[in-house]
Amino acid sequence: MLTKEEVIQILRRLHTELDTPLEMPEEIAALVYRSDSLSYGGTVTYSRHIDVEYDYSGCYGIHEDTPLFQFIGALCGLPQKAEEDVRLY
């Protein structure tokens, strides 16, 4: 689980990347790591992302090919694949 201080670091980076107003940790309902598998034509592809879920029902997805995902992954030691959602905060 992330600490409040780590969540503040993440929100600052998100604010810089998106050029949006800085969210406060109290506005975050959850940060959830998800590893989705998509199967088509006998091939399975995995899509890893972290969802920032807001109290006001909004959600923002941070995809694995972004520097912010890599930053969060380094903080938490995210697994390559997760069978279930992993709540980070």
Q: What is the pLDDT of residues 20-70, one digit of tens each?
A: 776 777 788 999 999 888 899 999 888 899 999 988 888 999 999 999 999
Task: Compute and round to an integer the Cα radius of gyration of the chain.
Answer: 14
In degrees and rounded to multiples of 5, residue 37 shows phi and psi of: -115, 135
Q: Are 13 and 71 in contact (CB under 8 A)?
A: yes
* Residue 88 pLDDT: 95
Closest CA to 50 of 74, 35, 33: 33
Closest CA to 35 of 8, 68, 61: 61
